[in-house]
């Protein structure tokens, strides 16, 4: 197993509320590296990348434009050094940097696939967004749509191909972003489908899609995908989410699946968490499930079948 490298993505300026900027510090205080090492998993703290709030005068987009290449360099370096990046957000605009860096490192071998677990579609462009908040735009940017400074990190566009992206858990979105994903043919598993089929079946299909024709794949988890009863500490809570226990089960052993190139956990806002830190503790459990647990078999999951055959 590769060494887990935690990268702190300290940005909240991409959201309506700034509180996510302090998510990584909250998680650093929970002893993640020590806990993984005690369990026999090599782990280390990587860089902390902090958004330049002095750029806020020029707007939220300017802050994200400044932050993205710095985070991309960090995730690129971790992947290039053959470590397993775990990026701690931060608002979800950090995904542009995280996955641009990993895509750049994988590029000589092939494409990057991505599973996007989220209550929202995060697929606005500056033209369709009413709020103008960049944390509603990262998936569009990675697919090559939106602000050129965000789409063209490392000088190329289209870090993700539409057929190698799956969104799971969406239940709150606007027509403009949905139209973009429909036009591109991105597979979206809306919340009714997740409830009907179960998360295991959804993950199995998603893994099949992101493994097909890629050199590696990852998962970005927006904490707001999880039901607010289990994860109250988020800026944009949406009722009717996925139970935390189901997400924990679905992500168990993620890092040990063939081709897994990284994990990102975003949108923890410690100031909105409850008094017993339910959301932060859940984040710690999610990271431990990803990094420590053995890969569980999901019905029809080709990645698991591969692992068995090896
Ligand atoms: Mn999101």
Q: Can you list the domains of the chain with their CATH numbers?
A: 4-309 (3.40.800.10)
Cross-strand pairs, 111: 214
pLDDT in tens, 231-284: 999 989 999 999 999 999 999 999 999 999 999 999 999 999 999 999 999 999
User: Nearest Cα to 78, choosing from 286, 293, 291, 261?
Assistant: 261
Is 124 catalytic? The answer is no
Cα separation values, 6 from 46, 95, 119, 215, 242, Å: 5, 14, 24, 22, 25
Is 92 catalytic? The answer is yes
Decide: 150 and 99 in contact? Cβ < 8 Å.
no
HSE-up of residue 111 (Cα within 13 Å, Cβ side): 19
Is 152 catalytic? The answer is no
User: Nearest Cα to 226, choosing from 239, 210, 242, 214?
Assistant: 242
- Split at pLDDT 50, 70, 90, the class of 299 is low
Is 91 catalytic? The answer is no
| Residue 307 CA, ligand 1 centroid: distance in Å | 30
Write out the residues surrounding ion ligand 1, Cβ under 5 A: 92, 118, 122, 222
- Split at pLDDT 50, 70, 90, the class of 301 is very low
Peptide bond into 260 cis (omega under 30): no
Q: Residue ranges of the alpha helices (H) in the chain?
A: 23-28, 32-38, 60-80, 94-106, 138-142, 148-151, 175-184, 191-197, 199-211, 244-251, 278-292, 302-309
- Catalytic pick among 118, 177, 205, 230: 118
- Catalytic pick among 122, 147, 264, 301: 122
pLDDT in tens, 116-167: 999 999 999 999 999 999 999 999 999 999 999 999 999 999 999 999 999 9
Is 122 catalytic? The answer is yes
Q: What is the pTM of this model?
A: 0.95
The arithmetic mean of pLDDT across residues 60-71, rounded, is: 98
């Amino acid at each position: 197993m590769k060494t887990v490298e935690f990268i702190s993505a300290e940005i909240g300026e991409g959201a309506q509320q700034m509180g996510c900027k302090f998510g990584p510090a909250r998680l650093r205080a929970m002893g993640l590296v020590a806990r993984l090492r005690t369990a026999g998993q090599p782990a280390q703290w990587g860089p902390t990348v902090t958004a330049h709030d002095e750029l806020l005068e020029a707007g939220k987009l300017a802050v994200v434009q400044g932050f993205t290449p710095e985070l991309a360099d960090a995730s690129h370096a971790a992947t290039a050094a053959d470590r397993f990046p775990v990026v701690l957000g931060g608002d979800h605009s950090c995904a542009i940097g995280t996955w641009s860096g990993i895509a750049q490192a994988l590029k000589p071998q092939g494409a990057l696939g991505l599973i996007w677990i989220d209550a929202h579609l995060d697929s606005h462009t500056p033209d369709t967004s009413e709020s103008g908040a960049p944390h509603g735009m990262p998936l569009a940017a990675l697919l090559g749509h939106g602000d050129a400074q965000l789409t063209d990190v490392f000088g190329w566009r289209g870090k993700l191909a539409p057929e190698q992206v799956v969104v799971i858990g969406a239940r709150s979105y606007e027509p403009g972003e949905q139209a973009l994903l429909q036009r591109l043919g991105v597979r979206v598993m809306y919340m009714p489908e997740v409830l009907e089929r179960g998360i295991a079946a959804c993950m199995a299909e998603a893994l099949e899609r992101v493994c097909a024709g890629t050199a590696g794949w990852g998962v970005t988890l927006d904490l707001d995908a999880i039901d607010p009863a289990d994860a109250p500490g988020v800026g944009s809570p949406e009722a009717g989410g996925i139970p935390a226990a189901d997400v924990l089960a679905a992500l168990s052993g993620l890092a040990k699946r063939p081709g897994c190139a990284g994990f990102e956990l975003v949108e923890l806002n410690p100031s909105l968490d409850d008094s017993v830190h339910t959301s932060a503790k859940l984040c710690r459990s999610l990271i431990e499930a990803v990094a420590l647990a053995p890969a569980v078999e999901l019905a029809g999951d080709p990645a698991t079948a591969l692992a068995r055959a090896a």
